[in-house]
């Protein structure tokens, strides 16, 4: 019990005792005690009334000046009020700062509640998404952004990747939209204008495609002449080595141009591919035959077919995946090594794998070898006729098939490249 409360109890006991003595003296102790208790009750009621008026009517100003325990209670309430007023001011200032910073943001920001209704948005959302403050607050976002892609994105609840969509205000503005869940079921929709970035990216791919296309004819002519010179028995002895080297380099340029054109074709391809059922056994045997004379001394090669299920995919793209993985295995595996290419499928999906007992890849390179022109060992890659684009092509084709590439490798022991296809890409005759 605090000092104030102790004093209040003491005062009450003393007043009661005095009233009892006076009551006994007058021969009416109960009447004195009753009058005293009534007076105490009235005094408390009056203080409660003053306190209530002060709390409910802000115009009252200063807290009522009451002695004793009431004064103590009122003082504590006044202290709490002062603290909460200060906190309110701080929060209001913070809110103003937050509003100012989100208004300055070039990206659209929209706060959605559990029912996907709009709770708040910034001015960039008006510019990029066409939201109007008076009209759209409280509306469901999918009633306002009606593109089917956006509705699916919102309903599927898989927000790992951003969604590319045209602005509902201007068709020529491309947006990258992303939803970030937070709190209890709330979500933040962010949309960024990427029109300029997309234009530059298109310029880059168009340039690579056009340059490769233009280089194609001169390189074919050069390769043709060098090929005939290379096989010409009358070629002067001092020209034999230079012509052979020129022929090799021209062939490399030809492969580079072919790979660059293939990458451009894949980049320009719609995300929807024309999928047909592919018999994997036939495909793997065909590809094995194609690469079987890549080198003079080939490692031992075999095909393993653990399922006759067909793969639903684009034949030329998947042929290119198998060719790239298998030719890499051949180029990086010594003649006394072994290579296996295989296919298996079950209810969870399909796997195409290429396993070799070759050079392997250092751990630091594994994450990067699917980047264009990234080579684990640049000298070895060039010497073996590599373009540095093979795995980039593989990755791109797999993305178009909703598949992923998994690389397991140990330097000096070999590598396994596994392409994992989702069950939706396996034709129904699965027979694992």
Residues that bind ligand ADP (CB under 6 A): 324, 328-329, 332, 356, 358-361, 369, 375-377, 381, 386-392, 415
In the bound state with ligand ADP, the residue whose beta carbon lies nearer, of 113 and 377, is 377
In the bound state with ligand ADP, the residue whose beta carbon lies nearer, of 124 and 329, is 329
Distances (CA, A) of 396 to 164, 236, 252: 18, 46, 22
Shortest distance, position 298 Cβ to ligand ADP, whole Å: 14
In the bound state with ligand ADP, the residue whose beta carbon lies nearer, of 199 and 368, is 368
Residues 6+ apart with CB under 8 A from 149: 163, 165
CB atoms within 10 A of CB 390: 23
Shortest distance, position 126 Cβ to ligand ADP, whole Å: 46
Q: Are 407 and 355 in contact (CB under 8 A)?
A: no
Which of 402, 413, 252 minimizes the C-alpha distance to 332?
413
For residues 146 and 139, what is the distance between their CA atoms, to the nearest angstrom? 13
Shortest distance, position 332 Cβ to ligand ADP, whole Å: 3
**Residue that the structure tokens 């047909």 belong to:** 276
Angle at 14 between CA 18 and CA 39, to 5 degrees: 75
Shortest distance, position 331 Cβ to ligand ADP, whole Å: 6
In the bound state with ligand ADP, the residue whose beta carbon lies nearer, of 126 and 416, is 416
End-to-end CA gap in the chain? 79
Shortest distance, position 303 Cβ to ligand ADP, whole Å: 17
Shortest distance, position 384 Cβ to ligand ADP, whole Å: 7
Q: Are 260 and 296 in contact (CB under 8 A)?
A: no
In the bound state with ligand ADP, the residue whose beta carbon lies nearer, of 314 and 356, is 356
In the bound state with ligand ADP, the residue whose beta carbon lies nearer, of 51 and 261, is 261
Maximum distance among all Cα pairs of the chain, rounded to whole angstroms:
152
For residues 368 and 392, what is the distance between their CA atoms, to the nearest angstrom? 10
Shortest distance, position 269 Cβ to ligand ADP, whole Å: 19
For residues 320 and 266, what is the distance between their CA atoms, to the nearest angstrom? 11
In the bound state with ligand ADP, the residue whose beta carbon lies nearer, of 57 and 364, is 364
Shortest distance, position 367 Cβ to ligand ADP, whole Å: 11
In the bound state with ligand ADP, the residue whose beta carbon lies nearer, of 153 and 332, is 332
In the bound state with ligand ADP, the residue whose beta carbon lies nearer, of 122 and 357, is 357
Shortest distance, position 261 Cβ to ligand ADP, whole Å: 16
In the bound state with ligand ADP, the residue whose beta carbon lies nearer, of 230 and 375, is 375
Count the helix, strand and coil residues of the chain and give each as a percent rounded to the nearest 5: 55, 20, 25
Q: Please tell me what DSSP assigns to residue 182.
A: E
Residue 258: strand pairing partners: none
In the bound state with ligand ADP, the residue whose beta carbon lies nearer, of 350 and 358, is 358
DSSP per-residue letters across 70-105: HHHHHHHHHHHHHHHHHHHHHHHHHHHHHHHHHHH-
For residues 70 and 260, what is the distance between their CA atoms, to the nearest angstrom? 87
Angle of the 237-268 helix axis to the 390-400 helix axis, nearest 10: 20
Q: Are strands 414-422 and 404-410 parallel, antiparallel or unpaired?
A: antiparallel
For residues 278 and 265, what is the distance between their CA atoms, to the nearest angstrom? 21
Q: Are 191 and 177 in contact (CB under 8 A)?
A: yes
Shortest distance, position 355 Cβ to ligand ADP, whole Å: 9
Shortest distance, position 392 Cβ to ligand ADP, whole Å: 6
């Amino acid at each position: 019990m605090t000092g104030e409360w102790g004093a209040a109890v003491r005062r009450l006991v003393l007043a009661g005792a005095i009233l009892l003595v006076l009551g006994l003296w007058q021969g009416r102790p109960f009447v004195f005690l009753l009058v005293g208790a009534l007076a105490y009750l009235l005094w408390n009621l009056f203080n409660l009334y003053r306190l209530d008026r002060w709390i409910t009517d802000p115009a009252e100003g200063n807290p009522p000046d009451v002695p004793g325990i009431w004064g103590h209670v009122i003082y504590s309430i006044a202290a709490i009020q002062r603290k909460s007023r200060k906190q309110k001011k701080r929060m209001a200032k913070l809110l103003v700062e937050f509003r100012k910073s989100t208004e300055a943001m070039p990206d659209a920001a929209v706060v959605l509640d559990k029912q996907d209704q709009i709770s708040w948005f910034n001015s960039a959302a008006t510019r990029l998404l066409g939201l109007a403050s008076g009209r759209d607050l409280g509306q469901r976002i999918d009633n306002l952004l009606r593109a089917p892609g956006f509705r699916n994105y919102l309903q599927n609840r898989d927000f790992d990747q951003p969604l590319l969509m045209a602005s509902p205000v201007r068709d020529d503005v491309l947006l990258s939209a992303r939803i970030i869940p937070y709190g209890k079921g709330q979500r933040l929709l962010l949309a960024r204008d990427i029109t300029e970035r997309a234009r530059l990216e298109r310029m880059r791919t168009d340039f690579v495609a056009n340059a490769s296309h233009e280089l194609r004819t001169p390189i074919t002519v050069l390769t043709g002449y060098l090929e005939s010179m290379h096989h010409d028995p009358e070629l002067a002895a001092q020209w034999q080595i230079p012509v052979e080297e020129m022929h090799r380099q021209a062939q490399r340029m030809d492969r580079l141009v072919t790979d660059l054109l293939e990458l451009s074709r894949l980049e320009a391809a719609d995300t929807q591919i024309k999928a047909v059922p592919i018999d994997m056994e036939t495909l793997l045997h065909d590809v094995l035959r194609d690469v079987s004379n890549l080198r003079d001394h080939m490692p031992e090669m075999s095909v393993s077919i653990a399922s006759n299920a067909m793969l639903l995919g684009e034949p030329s793209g998947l042929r290119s995946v198998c060719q790239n993985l298998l030719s890499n295995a051949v180029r990086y595996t010594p003649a006394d090594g072994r290579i296996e290419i295989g296919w298996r499928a079950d209810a969870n999906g399909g796997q195409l794998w290429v396993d070799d007992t070759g050079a392997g890849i250092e751990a630091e390179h594994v994450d990067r070898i699917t980047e264009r022109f990234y080579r684990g060992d640049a000298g070895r890659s060039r010497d073996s006729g590599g373009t540095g684009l093979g795995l980039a092509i593989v990755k791109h084709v797999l993305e178009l098939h909703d598949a992923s590439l998994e690389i397991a490798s140990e330097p000096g022991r070999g590598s396994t490249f596994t392409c994992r296809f989702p069950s939706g890409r396996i034709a129904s005759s699965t027979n694992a």
